[in-house]
Chains A and B, each alone.
Chain A
Amino acid sequence: MAAQGKLPGRQPPDRLRKRVSDHFDPLPFYTAPLEHKLIDSQKYQISALTQRPMAMYHSWDSQNAWLRQIHTHNYLFVNPKLAESIGFGDGDWIWVESPTNKVRCMARFSEAVEPGTVWTWNAIGKAAGAWGLDPKANESQKGFLINHLITEELPPCEAGEHMSNSDPVTGQAAWFDVRVRIYPAEAHEPKVTSPQFKLQKRVPGQDAKRGKWQGFFAGKFRRKHNID
């Protein structure tokens, strides 16, 4: 009401007035995602989504020795029709590019994804050396995150610069609003996911790296390491 000029007292700044009056409509309405209205929607036509692997729900440490055998790296799931139209095959290395960044990963054909959408398991990709994993662990060499593609701030718009890329009412981050284009990686490019980061060093107090074999038996580890 204040944004509509119908109430006296505190008023939103003029640059935000339209945003507040539009989005605080008491009735439900549809609007295209904010980001879509501000990017080159011809160049970036494909929606990119993520889903948490069920095996790792409620057990966020996916570097767990057992869970990482279930999902040790991820692929970008692409409908074969979309891949055919762009010109790459199942298992090929591809680039996924949003208006702000790009990620190199492997594609996996799936008939269970809509052709204008791509998706992947989230939270599997890790930086090399992170989470106590070996620098060559699949999570860092073949796993990837699409977080790199998602911008925290909207491009400059009528509401100003540095506007949060989130729902104006709830503040929910607009993860699923990201639009991308995908294209095959060059043959000479390294067969690892990109971006790669400087190897993380072990931090003081971190457990020594475990051995090549692990036969977990409840209680034995505690006795071996004199833990009461």
Chain B
Amino acid sequence: MTQLALVIDLNVCVGCHACVTSCKEWNTSGWAGPMTDHRPYDEDPTGTFFNRVQTYEAGVFPHTETYHFPKSCLHCEDPPCVPVCPTGASYKRKDNGVVLVDYDKCIGCKYCSWACPYGAREIDEKQRVMKKCTLCIDRITDMSLPESERKPACVLACPTSARLFGDVHEPDSEVSVAIRERGGYALQSEWGTKPANHYLPRRKTRIQIHEDELVRADNPLKKEDLPSLPEGGETLDDVSW
């Protein structure tokens, strides 16, 4: 069975919010829209977003790291928001595993937002229905789009390619390989919700310098009959003969 999901690489996310705004741009005018804003130009503006980036600091100066953590619906394989819905508005698509809300059935009771351990659902205070990430269902299933564009808006917008999209049940897909080979993990797996979205952890980035690469093998000076370079003295670029 297909299970579409996002895999987010925390090692390269720089917290630019391009995924947040591109998500809102696509979805507010699409199948799941509008994404209502309250007090848009007044004090304490607030509104519906399907995707938010939270930023944390870890460690003490100078050994500090800043983490940017994009958060959206994880499209759980066993989503706790679905069985609690009294009207059947909240459902998981059988063909691709995407968790969706049918606004025509939703009565805005918020049971699903209490059941979701990840805080992924946001009530639209104007329409009084629950809204959430649809994985851009109206994009990824739109066969009139070229295949390269049948991806969620956030994935297409990400300037650092921190967001991967694909089928986590297909063992050789880009996302499955990334989870397997780069330590991909699910959030709060102890809840048994089996989130489909995964995160790739931060990694220590080290430069590998090989001693022999520091010396130009094809140094033209060596090809001529010139006195040898002083030991440990000037570097190649400093020498003028």
Residues from chain A with a CB closer than 8 A to the CB of B21 are: 55, 66-67, 70
Residues of A contacting B66 with CB < 8 Å?
A: 112
Binds A, one of B32-40, B75-83, B133-141, B222-230: B32-40
- B36 contacts A215, C-beta separation under 8 Å: yes
A65 B61 Cβ-Cβ under 8 A = no
B45 close to A72 (CB less than 8 A): yes
B34 touches A111 (CB 8 A): no
Contact present for A137 and B64 (CB under 8 Å): no
The answer on a CB contact under 8 Å between B45 and A215 is: no
Given contacts A215-B34, A215-B126, A217-B29, contact A65 B15 (CB under 8 A): no
Q: Which of the residues A57, A65, A79, A217 comes within 8 Å of B45, measured between beta carbons?
A: A65
B42 in contact (CB, < 8 A) = yes
Which A47-71 residues sit within 8 Å CB-CB of chain B?
54-55, 57, 63, 65-70
User: Are B42 and A213 closer than 8 Å at their CB atoms?
Assistant: no
Question: Which chain B residues numbered 25 to 65 have a C-beta less than 8 Å away from chain A?
Answer: 28-29, 33-47, 49, 57, 59-62, 64
B61 contacts A114, C-beta separation under 8 Å? yes
Residue A113 is within 8 A (CB to CB) of chain B in the complex: yes
Min Cβ gap A87→B in Å is 19
Q: How far is the CA of A8 from the CA of B209 in the complex (A)?
A: 53
A137 with B42: CB separation less than 8 A: yes
Q: Does A120 contact B (CB under 8 A)?
A: no
Q: Is A110 close to B, CB under 8 A? A: yes
Contacts of B15 in A (CB 8 A): 54
Interface residues of A: mostly helix, strand, loop or mixed?
Answer: loop
For residue A198, CB closer than 8 A to chain B, the reply is no
B29 touches A65 (CB 8 A): no
Interface size class of A (residues with CB under 8 A): 35 or more
Partner of A217, one of B33, B38, B41, B46: B33
Rounded to whole angstroms, the CA-CA distance of A111 and B65 in the bound complex is: 9
Q: B194 — which chain A residues lie within 8 A by C-beta?
A: none
Q: Tell me how far the C-beta of A202 lies from the nearest C-beta in chain B, rounded to whole angstroms.
A: 12
Name the B residues within 8 Å of A72 (CB-CB): 44-45
Give min CB distance, A176 to chain B, whole Å.
20
Q: Measured between C-beta atoms, what is the minimum distance from B44 to chain A in Å?
A: 6
Asked whether, in the complex, the Cβ of A212 is within 8 Å of the Cβ of B61, the reply is no
> Which residues of B are found within 8 Å of A79, using beta-carbon distances?
61
Once A54-B16, A66-B37 are accepted as A-B contacts, the answer to whether A212 and B57 lie under 8 Å apart by CB is no
CB distance from A60 to the nearest CB of B (A): 14
Report chain B residues within 8 Å CB of A65.
37, 40-41, 45, 47
Q: Would you call B20 and A70 a contact (CB within 8 A)?
A: yes
Comparing A128-136, A166-174, A183-191, the segment that makes contact with chain B is: A128-136
B163 contacts chain A at the CB level, 8 A cutoff = no
B interface residues, tally (CB under 8 Å): 35
When distances are taken between beta carbons in the complex, the residues of chain B under 8 Å from A141 are 43
For B151, list chain A residues within 8 Å (CB).
none
Tell me the complex Cα distance, A78–B62, Å: 14
Q: A69 touches which one: B33, B47, B57, B64 (CB < 8 A)?
A: B47
Of the residues B16, B38, B64, contact of A112 by C-beta under 8 Å: B64
Chain A hits for B92, CB < 8 A: none
Closest to A73 in B: B44
A214 on interface, CB distance cutoff 8 Å:
yes
CB distance from B206 to the nearest CB of A (A): 21
Q: Please, which residues of chain B bring their CB within 8 A of the CB of A132?
A: 41
> Is A219 in contact with chain B by the CB < 8 A criterion?
yes
Q: 24 interchain pairs (CB within 8 A)?
A: A54-B15, A65-B37, A69-B46, A72-B44, A72-B45, A110-B57, A111-B61, A112-B61, A112-B64, A112-B66, A113-B61, A134-B39, A134-B43, A136-B43, A137-B41, A138-B43, A138-B44, A213-B37, A213-B126, A214-B37, A215-B36, A215-B127, A218-B29, A219-B29
Known pairs A113-B61, A137-B41, A215-B126; list 19 more (Cβ under 8 Å): A55-B16, A69-B37, A72-B45, A79-B61, A110-B57, A111-B60, A133-B41, A133-B42, A134-B42, A136-B43, A137-B42, A137-B43, A141-B43, A209-B41, A212-B38, A213-B36, A214-B36, A216-B34, A218-B29
Tell me the B residues contacting A by CB distance below 8 Å: 14-18, 20-21, 24, 28-29, 33-47, 49, 57, 59-62, 64, 66, 126-127
Which A residues fall within an 8 A CB radius of B? 54-55, 57, 63, 65-70, 72, 79, 81, 110-115, 132-134, 136-138, 141, 209-210, 212-219
